[in-house]
Each structure stands twice: as C-alpha cells, then as structure tokens.
Amino acid sequence: AQKITQTQPGMFVQEKEAVTLDCTYDTSDQSYGLFWYKQPSSGEMIFLIYQGSYDEQNATEGRYSLNFQKARKSANLVISASQLGDSAMYFCAMSSRRDDKIIFGKGTRLHILP
C-alpha cells in the first residue's frame, strides 16, 4: 500500500528565508509521481509541483523545487525566499501507474513571520 508521511505538523519561518518541508513516501510501485499542493485558509487546493519517479533531475517551478531522493524515498519541498503569502497548509501526495487516486499526507502548516 502507498503511504505519505509528513512529520512536521507546523513550521514558523522568517520572511525571505528558505524553507524545506519534509515528505517521505512508501510504495512498491516502480512508476509513480509525487506532488505538492498548497491549501490556503480559503480552502482550495493549489497544485505546486510534480516529480516523476523516473525523472533524473529535481523538479523546479519558480520559487518551488522538489528535492527528490529516490533511494531514501523522500520528496521534500523547498521554497526559496519565502513570502507572507506562502503561509498555508502544504500537502505532499503521490499517485502510481496502477492507481487513479492521489494519496495525501497529513500536511504541514507553514507560518511565514514578517
């Protein structure tokens, strides 16, 4: 069975600092994808970044990058130069070739301090 683990329930970071949100996963599938979603207080789910299990390079999208370490089964999200608007809940998630569904972790609530 697939599983996503996010061990940081909450984090406080000073504005403009970089922040790393941890995510580890477990799967027996060889082909899978890893996602990060942002959920602001308004509740919607915003797709941030995707990493495929066969991608050799770490994914980047603007200020977001995904530190993918396949052997360790980790997919940490790095936000560079954090902004006040980054304050939100962040979910790590995965899908596999076999499954339609996306499995989510419990999330990390990020607070950016001015």
Partner 1 sequence: EPEVTQTPSHQVTQMGQEVILRCVPISNHLYFYWYRQILGQKVEFLVSFYNNEISEKSEIFDDQFSVERPDGSNFTLKIRSTKLEDSAMYFCASSESSGSAYNEQFFGPGTRLTVL
Write out the residues near partner 1 by the rule CB under 8 A: 29, 31-33, 35, 37, 42-45, 47, 50, 52-54, 91, 93, 95-97, 99-107
To partner 1, the closest distance from the beta carbon of 22 in angstroms equals: 15
To partner 1, the closest distance from the beta carbon of 89 in angstroms equals: 10
CB 2 within 8 A of CB 26: yes
CB 1 within 8 A of CB 99: no
User: Which of 95, 36, 105 has its CA nearest to residue 68?
Assistant: 36
Q: What's the CA gap between 89 and 107, in Å, rounded?
A: 6
Q: Give the three-class secondary structure for 110.
A: strand
CB neighbour list of residue 24: distance below 8 Å, 6 or more residues apart:
4, 5, 7, 72, 73, 74, 75
To partner 1, the closest distance from the beta carbon of 17 in angstroms equals: 26
To partner 1, the closest distance from the beta carbon of 97 in angstroms equals: 5
